[in-house]
Structure 1
């Protein structure tokens, strides 16, 4: 039996959602050590798996790799549609575990589109491959279509920049008891609406923040400046999504972000993907205080989590 383990990811936002610019999307995110997905697999004569989503991915992997069957078990998983990349991380963990269990090679970047992953943002695939903080190159805007492309008809966006995350940086996760983030047909419809009316100048501002603040902060190891930069990126992304999610941040995320932003030990806060997970950037010297700030944010908003 083989095991594959991979961490969650935070998605800070996109570089550009306007059709008026040459490239569309361009995800910005970071790999996390915890929480994790752990998948075990061993050869079998058919596909066996009790986890519904993982079974679907296992069936796809068996077809793609041309093997007889596999017995897959999910030992740890991420909350679904919480903004932590559960779908992509589970799909790729299943793919790699099936390949390893059956002595096959699996190019996850090439095969991810066949499993319906990596079509818009390349952050999840990139963090699965090699971790770190990632900026992907997005797609040529000319390829945008109002309808979702068929699985396998796209390429995962290339990695434009990747940096190792400094050892002493920490990321606080606050997961409120709230409805899941947008997914499936609802997400596709919302994204299409956002792209068709997105303001181009917002993307220009984000590009300036990424090049003049975010990437230098990563290169120089400044958690404080990195936190401020990703908070700005997320807030500007929220202006694109406001009509779709009910505000710059989806309820009740706005109250949590506002509370965390007031803490001197949280250097930046925001919503990961469609939420409801809220992230905070801190460091190893302030972990306990940051956790208390997260609990206080939930209490102030009268939200369980």
Structure 2
């Protein structure tokens, strides 16, 4: 489509569940790595329209803090100017929240950049968009599932002597060669539970957490790798729901994941117990939380949604996403 015929681009990007980082010890051949999958909601909507001035507005119910939005604007403006892209008014909306472990930061950055390039008649390769986003340096799950959806198993990157940091603080990118074949997730229903009374971690607190607990012992990484590959990934490949739920439950007790749970004291564990009493098949925490996810029958999930007020949670009934983001170009 010629550039002068395109005035608006819209992208719908979904959340992702991050089941855990894997290689978090020192001295191994590879570091980081992780496993996770995309879900159909909650979503982030990004709309971009050509304008004489470049702006980004966060119109979500709970928007980014002012300094976070300023940082996002600065980073995107650098990319825009380096690539000679015409300015646009960009609006973020949709229910997805920031800093609750759902991958919103990565999804929104990629969507803004892709929409901006699209408005200028350009379609960069996925790898180029990821590089410009400055995301994916710790885990390749979010930057891969944005485009493809599905179950992602990331093998990390060669060790360089540094300790891992959160993806928001790392500019080292995970190459496509480190991602095992993406699997289509079976259509297993699940819920996402976002606690209303448990404060999410800030970026600074997330960095401090990494600095405080790393490196782990080598055997801790070995166990997580076993649960990720022989448990979760294999169960999805085999469409074995029971094995998948057992593996999700088991990976919560690995050292790295247990340390993440411990960051919330007993509050998140108590919420987990409340959710389990509804009869769900497994419960886990996405990334550093505090969002929980659980798999269960549709009837059980419906009862859970009905109880969200008493649980002090915002609860989304959802399913895996196997297609990635949706891009619409409008003349």
TM-score, with normalisation over the residues of structure 2? 0.79
Contact 1:6 1:128 in 2 (8 A): yes
Equivalents in 1 of 2:214, 2:92: separation in Å?
36
| Counterpart residue number, 1:18 | 25
1:270 and 1:100, CA in 2 relative to 1: closer, same or farther beyond 3 A? same
Whether the 8 Å CA contact 1:16–1:203 is kept in 2: the answer is: yes
- Please list the CA deviations of residues 220-253 of structure 1 after superposition, one character each: whole Å capped at 9, or x if unmatched: 212222122122213313334466x155xxx522
The aligned counterpart of 2:62 is none
**How far does the alpha carbon of each residue in 1:180-202 deviate from its partner, in whole angstroms, 9 at most, with x for none?**
43232221221122223x12212
2:100 maps to 82
Specify every segment of 5 or more residues in structure 2 that has no aligned partner in the other structure, as ranges: 1-7, 59-65, 315-331
Residues paired across the two proteins, number: 293
Residue 191 of structure 1, aligned match among 203, 210, 214: 210
- Identify if the C-alpha distance between structure 1 residues 242 and 170 changes in structure 2 by more than 3 Å, giving closer, same or farther: closer
CA shift for structure 1 position 165: 1.0
Map 1:100-179 onto structure 2 (within 5 A).
Answer: 100-145=118-163, 153-157=171-175, 158-167=178-187, 169-179=188-198
Cα distance in 2, alignment partners of residues 98 and 174 from structure 1: 32
1:290 maps to which of 290, 297, 301: 301
8 Å CA contact 1:37–1:89 kept in 2: the answer is yes
RMSD of Structure 2 on Structure 1 (CA): 2.7
Does structure 1 residue 255 correspond to structure 2 residue 270? Answer: yes
**CA shift digits 1:252-283 (9 cap, x unpaired):** 2211223334544x22111111111110023x
SS, match of residue 231 in structure 2 = helix
Q: CA deviation at 1:73?
A: 1.7
For the pair 1:50 / 2:41, whether they are aligned, the reply is: no
Question: CA offset at residue 153 of structure 1?
Answer: 4.5
Note closer, same or farther for the CA distance 1:49–1:20 as it changes in structure 2 (3 Å cut). Answer: closer
Distance 1:182 1:152, change over 3 A: closer
Question: Against the structure 1 CA distance between its residues 57 and 131, is the aligned structure 2 distance closer, same or farther, given a 3 Å change threshold?
Answer: farther
Q: CA deviation at 1:214?
A: 1.5
Moved over 6 A (4+): 146-152
TM-score normalised by L of structure 1: 0.85
